[in-house]
Structure 1
Amino acid sequence: MSRSELDLSVSVRKATSPDETAPKRKHVRSCIVYSWDHKSSGAFWQALKVQPLLSDEVQTFKALICIHKVLQEGHPNCLRDAQAQVSWIDSLGRSCIGDGLRGYGVLIREYSTFLLSKLKFHRQHPEFNGMLEYEEYVTLKATVDPNEGYGI
């Protein structure tokens, strides 16, 4: 395992800690930056899958938050890579029964359903980026040279 993958693994572990607080932005940001540096989110998914997410509802919910942020702000290949993780994300949503032990059951199910809908949308509309920036899409759609669309 390379140094950057080790750092990513630590960031994922810290971002999905069982503490009932939002994932720290610096840990989520490390995951996003890694995806841009490596033009992939494969190592991010591997790091997530080795965490004991199903043993704690808070960790599961925080993992969904991290996934959402990486899909939004990560390298465009993250959306493509995430398509292979649809069944795993679905399993996270099915992991909690009822309200769950700590009351996160409904949130986890709804958030995973939202992420699955987001991935379905991006599968059907690959022209949109993770932030769904429509204005950028419209301005660049008619240009042949991307530099034209940005006025460079």
Structure 2
Amino acid sequence: GSPGIHMNSIKNVPARVLSRRPGHSLEAEREQFDKTQAISISKAINSQEAPVKEKHARRIILGTHHEKGAFTFWSYAIGLPLPSSSILSWKFCHVLHKVLRDGHPNVLHDCQRYRSNIREIGDLWGHLRDQYGHLVNIYTKLLLTKISFHLKHPQFPAGLEVTDEVLEKAAGTDVNNIFQLTVEMFDYMDCELKLSESVFRQLNTAIAVSQMSSGQCRLAPLIQVIQDCSHLYHYTVKLMFKLHSCLPADTLQGHRDRFHEQFHSLRNFFRRASDMLYFKRLIQIPRLPEGPPNFLRASALAEHIKPVVVIPEEAPEE
């Protein structure tokens, strides 16, 4: 079934229903929950150079819906020996990204409390000449940017999916506000693109890289990056047309330059990822148009097609 339905059904089951078996106390229930979460976390976040297994990540995500937050996740994550392994730290970032995107909405505030821990691990690995360490440094910057953006703009859930009406409402009618929101989305997109570019730079040399577990370990988080980027791209297009309808074109030259640079980077990223065998069965990546939208022609908005990412129904894991 779809994970959405599954999560909701867990979320709404009162605790007493969960502990209906005779002699089965809430305390035992809690202990069992803690144990299964601890196992999933240690299986998902380890120092093996292989991608995070989907089933372990899903159990952690379901756990946040069960307890309406990331309390248990952080209670175990805080004990992981992140400074001892850059691969472990990389997989921690990946799981955290998934938990933010698909976990219970309260996860965001729980992660805010651990900002300094996230920053520390990024700083630590940023100082060391280590391939994964370099990626961890960039990934923590993305995660901190993500947390800040969504706390500041609660209309956008961390999964980033909202209707055009919600986007309109969030942007409002004050042009300064729209201008500022666009800048923040550009900053957010920059962090996403920097991560994808850095991953591809490390994998540049090997051609069959996406079929090797070392390649897949680096590529796996780009699935979440592709999901984030497709939404951010759509919103920046809409906001740019909005800005061009209320400000003179030359005032927005800087915004256009920035958009064009991101457009070409994103198009290149989506194209390269689409060509990789690894992504083919895990995600359908949209194609961006040949060239960026022409914001100087208001009617060009009608030609914009919202890019849609499709995650196929769960393939049974070996």
Counterpart code for 2:90: F
Q: Does 1:124 align with 2:152?
A: yes
Go from structure 1 to structure 2 and tell me whether the alpha carbon gap of 1:136 and 1:42 turns closer, same or farther (over 3 Å shift): farther
- Identify the residue that residue 133 of structure 1 maps to in structure 2: 161
Match of 2:113, SS? helix
Tell whether the 8 Å contact from 1:15 to 1:62 is kept in structure 2 after alignment.
Answer: yes
C-alpha distance in structure 1 between counterparts of 2:43 and 2:109, whole Å: 25
Relative to the length of structure 1, the TM-score reads 0.86
CA displacement 1:75-111 (0-9 Å, x = unmatched): 00001111101101001101212332xx112100000
1:18-73: CA deviations, max 9, x gaps?
10011111111111000001101111011111121210110000000000000000
Contact in 2 for aligned 1:127/1:137 (Cα 8 Å): no
CA distance in 2, matches of 1:125, 1:35: 21
Contact conserved, 1:15 with 1:66, CA < 8 A, in 2? yes
8 Å Cα contact 2:155/2:166 also seen in 1:
no
Gaps of 5+ in 1: 142-152
| Structure 1 CA distance for aligned equivalents of residues 66 and 129 of structure 2 | 39
The 5 Å alignment of 1:1-152 reads 2-96=31-125, 97-100=127-130, 103-135=131-163, 138=166
The alignment's TM-score, normalised by the length of structure 2, stands at: 0.42
Structure 2 CA distance, aligned partners of 1:55 and 1:98? 12
2 CA distance for matches of 1:46 and 1:98? 27
Task: Give every structure 1 segment of 4 or more consecutive aligned residues whose post-TM-superposition deviation is greater than 4 Å.
Answer: none
Tell me the residue number matched to 2:254.
Answer: none
- Closer, same or farther in 2 for the Cα pair 1:82/1:136, shift >3 Å? farther
After TM superposition, the structure 1 stretch with the greater mean CA deviation from structure 2, 46-55 or 67-76, is: 46-55
Does the aligned pair in 2 maintain the 1:93–1:109 contact within 8 Å?
Answer: yes
**Structure 2 gap segments, 5+ residues each:** 1-29, 170-318
What is the identity, as a one-letter code, of the residue corresponding to 1:58?
Answer: I
Instruction: State the distance in 2 between where 1:105 and 1:137 align.
Output: 40
